[in-house]
Amino acid sequence: MRTPEPARADTPDLAVRLPWEAVPDYHCFGCSPHNPAGLGLRFTRHPDGLRAGFRPTRSFESYPGVLHGGLVGVICDEVMANVIMVERGVPAFTISMRTRYLTPLRVDHDYHCTATISRAEADVITASAEIHDVDDELCASATATYRPFALGDVRHLLTLDDADAARLEHAISTQNGRP
């Protein structure tokens, strides 16, 4: 799935850099360019939140010619978690998610997923996502609840050395012009 939707040439400011990029060898299955088995999603700003275009390949199929349904959920989850990071400036773990499949997604076809924050409280954030085809037909949707976290509180769960943890903490704290 290595064909991300490029930002339009007339709006280069729409492309989004994520804090995880501060870690030279991060391997996120959804968005890392360092993970050859991953989805390689790239994000752009969207008036409603965050968007990622993608074109599934046969490497991700389930039934012949059809994207595996679990990966539909992964794509929605990835875009929703990153809209929280971009708009709220906090990383968050998924604590529940519901995915609705309206039609199978086909391999070698273009799609885009757009995510928005639905509700934000101190200890939970709810987001929603929709996947549309090139004709803007809705193919799948998802809603999820996330628990924001401070990097220091979950450091024991992450495989970051001190230098990478410091880089990531700095990138998160300065994301989108935050001091």
Tell me what pLDDT residue 174 has: 86
Question: pLDDT tens track of the chain, all 179 residues?
Answer: 544 443 343 344 578 989 999 999 899 999 998 899 999 999 999 998 999 999 999 999 999 999 999 999 999 999 999 999 999 999 999 999 999 999 999 999 999 999 999 998 889 999 999 999 999 999 999 999 999 999 889 988 989 899 999 999 999 988 755 54
Residue 139 domain boundaries: 12-165
| Three-class DSSP category at 47 | coil
Give the three-state DSSP class for 136.
coil
The partner residues of 113 in beta bridges, in order of sequence, read: 52, 131
Report CA-CA distances (Å) from 99 to 18, 56, 72, 77, 114.
24, 18, 8, 9, 14
pLDDT at 179: 46
Can you say how many angstroms the Cα of residue 131 is from the centroid of all Cα atoms in its chain?
12
In a domain? residue 17: yes
Task: Name the burial class of residue 139, with classes exposed (0-12), middle (13-18) and buried (19+) by CB atoms within 10 angstroms of its CB.
Answer: buried
The pLDDT of residue 176 is 58
**pLDDT, position 13:** 56
pLDDT at 1: 57
Tokens of 31: 């968005």
Give the number of domains in the chain.
1
Determine contact, residues 116/48, Cβ cutoff 8 Å: yes
* 97 occurs within a structural domain: yes
- What is the model's pLDDT at position 36? 92
SS3 label, residue 109 = coil
Q: What is the pLDDT of residue 43?
A: 96
| 122 belongs to a structural domain | yes
Helices (H), 49-158: 69-88, 151-154
Query: What's the CATH number where 111 sits?
Result: 3.10.129.10
36, with CB counted inside 10 A (0-12, 13-18, 19+), is exposed
Domain assignment of residue 156, yes or no: yes
Please provide the distance, in angstroms rounded to a whole number, between the alpha carbons at the two ends of the chain. 35
| 3 occurs within a structural domain | no
